[in-house]
Structure 1
Amino acid sequence: MQTTGNTILITGGGSGIGAALAHAWHAAGNQVIIAGRRQAVLDAIVADHPGMAALTIDMEDPTSLTAFTDGLLADFPALNIVVHNAGIMVAENRIDLAIAEATIATNLLGPIRLTHALLPHLMAQPAASLVTVSSGLAFVPLAATPTYSATKAAIHGWSLAMRAQLAGSSIEVIEIVPPGVQTDLMPGHADNEQMMPLADFIDEVMALLAQQPALPEIHVDRVKFLSEATRRGDFDTVFAALNDAH
C-alpha cells in the first residue's frame, strides 16, 4: 500500500493500536479519520493532531452504520483505506453469553457490516486497501478468552477469502497480526513486560507496510512464536506454553 496521500478510516482509533496507527499515518502525510464510541476521547486526539478528523461509531449497532457511512463519504469522498481495528477482549469463565455476543458483534460482525457498506465506494477508487487487525491468538487460542480468539481466527479466514475474491480489483486486503501489545485492551496489558511495547510494534508494522511488493499479512517478529506454530509443527507445545503462562 502507498504510505502517503491516502484518506484512511481507522475504527477503534481512540486508544491502543488504533490511535498509534493514526498518529503514524497522520505524520506520514495522510488524511486520517479515527472512529470510536467515545467522542470526547476522539476529540482530544484530534486536538493534538491538527488535520485529523473524528467520527462516532458503535460497531455493535448495525442500524447506525448507514448514517455513519453516508456522513463519512459525504465529508471524505477520497476515502481509500479502511482499517478494521476496533475490538474488545474480555476474559470468560467458561461460556459467558453476554460477553461472547458482544465480542462477536464488535470484532467480527462489525467489520463485515462496515465493509459491506463501504465496498462499492472502495471498488470505485483507483487504488484502495482493506486492512484487518487480527491477532496471534487467531493461530493459537488463549483459553481464558475463547470468543476473542475465535473472532480473530474468523477475521484471519475472512481476510484470506476476501483477498481471493477481490484479486484483480483495485482493492488489496492486508491483515495485521499483532502479538500481545502494551495497550489497555485488557487490564494489566499496558504494564506487562511480557507484552511488546506499543511504539516498537508500530515502528515494525509501518516498515513492513512500506515494503514493495505489498505484504498480504504483517507479522512482526514477536508474533511468529504463535502465528507460525502450525507451520513449525509445534502447535501443541506453543498452546501449552501460552496457556500455562496465563
Structure 2
Amino acid sequence: MDVTNRTVFIAGATSGIGLELARRFAAAGSSVIVGGRRAGLLDRLAAEGFGTVAIDVTDQDSVDRARDAVLRSHPGLDTIVTMSGVMIPEDLRDPKHFDAAWQTIDTNLLGTIRVIDAFTPHLIGRGTGTVITVSSGIGFLPFPIMPTYAASKAGVHAYTEALRAQLDGTGVEVAELVPPAVATTPEQARLNPRALDLTEFATEVMDLLQADPTPHEILVKGVLMHRWAERDGTYADLVAQRSQALATLPGRQ
C-alpha cells in the first residue's frame, strides 16, 4: 500500500505502538486522525498537528460519534487501524478473574468489531480502502498469565480472516498487524529485555506495509517464532517456558 497519501484513522493511538505508527504515517505524507479516551493526550497530539477524536471502543454510542466526527472532517478517509487493547494478568483458579476477562474481550475483540462495523459502509461505498486490525503473537503462542488476552487476539485473527473473505471484491483490502512484545517505555524494556525496540519495530512495519500487494499478515522478524511455533514443532516447549510467569501471580509464590 502507498503510505504517502492516505487519510488514516487509528483507534487507540494516544501512546505506544499506535502513536508511533501515527507519527510514521504522518511523516510519510498521510493525514492521520488519532482516536483515544484520554483528553489530555488528545490535546497534546492536536498541538502536534494530528486530527483527534474521543472514542471509547467499548461504548457503541462513542464509536458512532467518533465515526461521524471523523467523516465530517475527513470525508476522504481510506484507512482504518484498530489499535485499542488491554493486557490484564488473570489467575484462572480465582473466579474473580472474570471481570478482567470481560473487559479484555469487550475492548480487544468487540471493540475491534465495533470500529470496523462503524466504517465498513463508508469504505465499501468508496470502492477502495484498507482495514488494518491488530492481533498479537500471543494469539498464536499463548502467554498463560494473560489467557483472555491470548483468546481475544486469536479471535481478532479469525475475525480478520473472515472479514477479508467477506470484503473480497469490494475494493477494500484487509491486513492484520501481528506484533510481538514491543518495549514502548524504558520500564518495559527493563522488565522484558527480549522486547523489540519500538523504533525498529515501527520501521519494519512501515516497510512491510509498503509491499505491493499489501501482505495479509504484517509479520516482523521478531514475531515469526510465535506465528509459526506449531508448524515448527516448538509450540509445546515455548508455552512451557512462558508458563513460568504464572509463579508471579499473587498466592503462587
The one-character-per-residue Cα deviations of 1:69-120 (angstroms, maximum 9, x if unpaired) are 2122111111110000110001112251111111111101111112112111
Once the two structures are TM-superposed, the CA of residue 68 in structure 1 deviates from its matched residue by: 1.9
CA distance in 2, matches of 1:27, 1:188: 27
Instruction: Normalising by structure 1, report the TM-score.
Output: 0.94
Question: Which residue pairs with 1:224 in the alignment?
Answer: 224
Please list, as runs of the form range in 1=range in 2, the aligned pairs for 1:1-16 lying within 5 A after superposition. 1-16=1-16
Question: Which of 78-87 and 190-199 deviates more?
Answer: 190-199
Once the two structures are TM-superposed, the CA of residue 216 in structure 1 deviates from its matched residue by: 0.7
CA RMSD of aligned residues (A): 1.5
Once the two structures are TM-superposed, the CA of residue 45 in structure 1 deviates from its matched residue by: 2.4
Q: Out of 51, 63, 66, which is 2:64 matched to?
A: 66
Structure whose alpha-carbon radius of gyration is higher: 2
Length, aligned pairs only: 242
Question: Which of 66-75 and 138-147 deviates more?
Answer: 66-75
Please list, as runs of the form range in 1=range in 2, the aligned pairs for 1:1-246 lying within 5 A after superposition. 1-48=1-48, 50=49, 52-94=50-92, 95=95, 96-183=97-184, 188-191=187-190, 192-244=192-244
Instruction: Normalising by structure 2, report the TM-score.
Output: 0.91
For residue 41 of structure 1, what is the amino acid of its counterpart? Answer: L
**C-alpha contact (below 8 Å) 1:46/1:53 kept by paired residues:** yes
Once the two structures are TM-superposed, the CA of residue 4 in structure 1 deviates from its matched residue by: 1.5
The one-character-per-residue Cα deviations of 1:194-231 (angstroms, maximum 9, x if unpaired) are 21110010000001111112211011111111111012
Question: Which residue pairs with 2:250 in the alignment?
Answer: none
Q: Secondary structure at the match of 1:213?
A: coil
For residue 220 of structure 2, what is the amino acid of its counterpart? Answer: V
Once the two structures are TM-superposed, the CA of residue 242 in structure 1 deviates from its matched residue by: 2.5
**C-alpha contact (below 8 Å) 2:123/2:172 kept by paired residues:** yes
Q: Secondary structure at the match of 1:124?
A: helix
CA distance in 1, matches of 2:103, 2:179: 21
Q: Secondary structure at the match of 1:189?
A: helix
CA distance in 2, matches of 1:207, 1:146: 31
Once the two structures are TM-superposed, the CA of residue 189 in structure 1 deviates from its matched residue by: 2.4
**Structure 1: gaps of 5 or more residues:** none
For residue 216 of structure 1, what is the amino acid of its counterpart? Answer: H
**Structure 2: gaps of 5 or more residues:** 247-253
Q: Secondary structure at the match of 2:35?
A: strand
Once the two structures are TM-superposed, the CA of residue 241 in structure 1 deviates from its matched residue by: 2.3
**C-alpha contact (below 8 Å) 1:39/1:55 kept by paired residues:** no
- The sequence identity of aligned pairs, in percent, is 40
**C-alpha contact (below 8 Å) 2:127/2:170 kept by paired residues:** no
